[in-house]
Amino acid sequence: MSAKPKLYYFDGRGKMESIRWLLAAAGVQFEEEFLETRDQYEKLLQGGSLLFQQVPMVEMDGMRMVQTRAILSYIAAKYNLYGKDLKERALIDMYVGGTDDLMGFILMFPFLSAEDKEKQRAIIVEKATSRYFPVYEKVLKDHGQDFLVGNNFSWADVHLLEAILMVEEKKSDVLSGFPQLQAFKARISNIPTIKKFLEPGSQRKPVPDDKYVETVRRVLRMYYDVKAN
């Protein structure tokens, strides 16, 4: 296995993007192998690398890891982005769980019909502004610290910034009623490792396009239409 973590996924965001974000935040360089054909995917399946027959898959520290949450938890713990004790870890898990739920409304967006995309866009903005962003706004306001947990940079901060930027792609002024989150976004975006990841030419993936959608459908043999939530 490579000394660097190696990521197996499509050349696009999907469930792998949060893993890219967290590795980048930790300052860890990584390699990627992009799935472009069904044969590549079948080879991983036949080789036993995909424990539950799905990607993402990450080769790291002598392991082949699957299940996105398990991979993220390992990276966060390894690079001291998972709090200093069990209570902080529980808070990080709760906040990450919330942003995961919000991202879930966005994940399948590229696979929707044009009509369903407009419906889903409205759902995403409504959920963000009424259910999720108010929670983080209150947390930051109540404790008056720069970060979500323990006044230390953590996985929760990385995940929230990723979610904010994803929702802003659907509505650019979505943070207009959230001054704490506006300041949070500016602070976290200027952390050196994050700032580097946000610059052009990094391994951060762009908004999924038709080519990405077609590749995923072909490799995974997705012959059905995805419906809006």
Inside any domain, residue 227:
no
Average pLDDT of the residues in 191-207: 97
Tens digit of pLDDT for each residue in 28-59? 999 999 999 999 999 999 999 889 989 999 99
CATH number at residue 107: 1.20.1050.10
pLDDT greater at residue 222 or residue 95: 95
Average pLDDT of the residues in 127-145: 97
CATH number at residue 17: 3.40.30.10
Q: What is the pLDDT confidence band of residue 3, given thresholds at 50, 70 and 90?
A: confident
Average pLDDT of the residues in 190-198: 98
Give start and end residues of each alpha helix (H) in the chain. 17-25, 38-46, 68-78, 86-107, 114-127, 133-143, 155-168, 179-189, 192-198, 210-220
Inside any domain, residue 186:
yes
Does residue 25 contact residue 196 with C-beta atoms inside 8 Å? Answer: no
129 closest CA partner among 168, 185, 183, 187: 168
Q: Are 209 and 125 contained in the same domain?
A: no
AA letter at 190: N
**Whole-number Å distance between alpha carbons of 219 and 201:** 26
27 closest CA partner among 87, 102, 77, 79: 79
Backbone angles phi, psi at 201, to 5 degrees: 95, -5
Average per-residue pLDDT for the chain: 95
Average pLDDT of the residues in 188-205: 98
Average pLDDT of the residues in 108-126: 95
125 pLDDT higher than 70: yes
AA letter at 218: R
**Whole-number Å distance between alpha carbons of 17 and 41:** 19
Q: Are 149 and 207 contained in the same domain?
A: no
Q: What is the pLDDT confidence band of residue 2, given thresholds at 50, 70 and 90?
A: low
Q: Are 173 and 95 contained in the same domain?
A: yes
184 pLDDT higher than 70: yes
224 pLDDT higher than 60: no
30: helix, strand or coil: coil
Domain that holds residue 212: 6-79+198-220
Which residues 6+ apart lie within 8 Å of 75 measured at CB?
Answer: 19, 22, 23, 26, 28, 60, 81
Tens digit of pLDDT for each residue in 7-24? 999 999 999 999 999 999
32-63: burial string, b at 16+ Cβ within 10 Å, e else: beebeeeeebeebeeeeebeeeebbbbbbeee
- In the prediction, which pLDDT does 36 show? 96
Q: What is the pLDDT confidence band of residue 141, given thresholds at 50, 70 and 90?
A: very high
81: helix, strand or coil: coil
213 closest CA partner among 205, 204, 222: 222
- In the prediction, which pLDDT does 53 show? 86
178 closest CA partner among 130, 122, 217: 130
* pLDDT > 70 in the chain, percent: 96
Q: Are 160 and 181 contained in the same domain?
A: yes
Q: What is the pLDDT confidence band of residue 223, given thresholds at 50, 70 and 90?
A: low
55 closest CA partner among 121, 45, 116: 45
